[in-house]
Chain A
């Protein structure tokens, strides 16, 4: 990191690491929900299309709308936000965890989409075979479905991670632009552009963002190929 140290300022480094932390927590936090939702969506039930639409809503809604909705749900004056604060001391407002929450929700469709596609590609005959061998529903999920959906889960997580790095509108609306707390890479770029004489800094951060996004996509591709081979496909 020493080479990067000399190239980036302390504030820029801070924005980079904050971005990585927010994205990682966003992806890991959303993963269990994405798995559950994907399992639900591979089945037929009344309200299937409503749930499907709801999951994909963040893709088409303006991020600023998502930020507003989060604000009125998790703000300290909102019932849920107040309850979380008083009961568990959890505050999303003006905190990096709020940025992670926003990024997690915005990139949720990427995870669900990839996981669901890979689950639907699994031959249902395999789970039937597992059933005749004595495996219960949870056992079948853990020993057959999860490993076979592995490439999809990983690909979805990496895509969501890369997308989380770029989230701007929802974060700035929900948790504002606080240096060291909620000023992630895109917010730092925005701030630099707004600041007189910040062009050089903005350019450095933009290059960084492009490199990160590109690396994420390549990594996702490599991991999927590797896992597919492991899964015998």
Chain B
């Protein structure tokens, strides 16, 4: 099921011209600062906003083509939408909110499937409750289930976590992650948080100034230095895809292997062979001209300087190609001059284990604030 979007729209002095495609089931993040056109974009896909010019196609069916005067109304598009503010119907209890979606589905879901969704989102105990008695996280879970019950062909999530405080985010994150792994349909996740994107999405589309600045797999995008103004400097970091090689239960550590090396990180949940993504923030990576010894850091990776980004400030961002896996390091301009770092140089990256964050974790784990 492919989702193709291409539209231009102008309101006031903001003009948007956005085009991208989502090819496989799984989560694609629409990422960008507020005002970049993320919500407008999903509204166009859902059919809630008709753009000045536009084209939307889902699974071979044209939903919108302004050139040919085609515009399928929102209710016939079969695209699930989870709004930032949940928008549960206040006069219906949770079960009847869910039914609202289920009853109007083109092809109703089999009962086993609706039971699975209720279980997946942990709603069994909430079914008889009224929306106004629910917490923010519970509301979002109900809204998500309601959208899934309508048996959509694609799912749009507009900042589902934005209105929640940190605790509630931790409450719903595992459910979204399960959805990500369980995904049978294309999911578009709108977010302005890099943390959310790296934890939940496989692909990302970066929006800036009403245009698509970049799109592709999250790992590739996050290691691009030229996108820092958009992806956010102090949040910047590489995302490494690897698999669990072994656990050391005594030391409570896990070894993760990936093309070009391995890394020892604090104990992860998961079985050996399972794919995991690690996020290594560029501030937590140190560079050395020779392999260092007798240091506390567990991970030393050899690589070549693939790219340098120098700006007016005190910092330099270095992209290190470690046998196909990209690492980012943020060092000062002073260090760069002292070590005379240039493109193509052989260097060693030192990564402290405690600086590594698992970016897609099934287990409930509170946000490791001390690592940020």
Contacts and interface: CB of A to CB of B under 8 A. Distances in A.
Interface string A74-85: 000000000000
Given A232-B131, A232-B132, A132 B80 contact: yes
Contacts of A134: 75-76, 78, 101, 104-106, 150
B352 interface: no
B146 A133 contact: yes
B85 interface: yes
Interface stretch (A89-97, A121-129, A152-160): A121-129
B48 A232 contact: no
- Chain A contact surface mostly: helix
Contacts of B47: 131-132
Contacts, number: 70
A166 interface: no
Interface size class of B (residues with CB under 8 A): 20 to 34
Contacts of A139: 104
B245 interface: no
B315 interface: no
Contacts of A180: none
A139 B89 CA distance: 14
Nearest to B77: A132
B79 interface: yes
A126 B143 CA distance: 12
Contacts of A136: 75
A69 interface: no
Nearest to A232: B90
Contacts of B79: 132
Contact of B48 (A132, A143, A148): A132
Contacts of B74: 128, 131-132
Given A131-B48, A133-B146, A232-B131, A123 B87 contact: yes
A233 interface: yes
5 contacts: A130-B100, A132-B79, A136-B75, A230-B91, A232-B131
Interface of A: 123, 125-126, 128-136, 139, 143-144, 147-148, 230-233
Given A125-B85, A128-B48, A131-B47, 6 more contacts: A129-B89, A132-B47, A133-B75, A133-B100, A133-B150, A143-B100
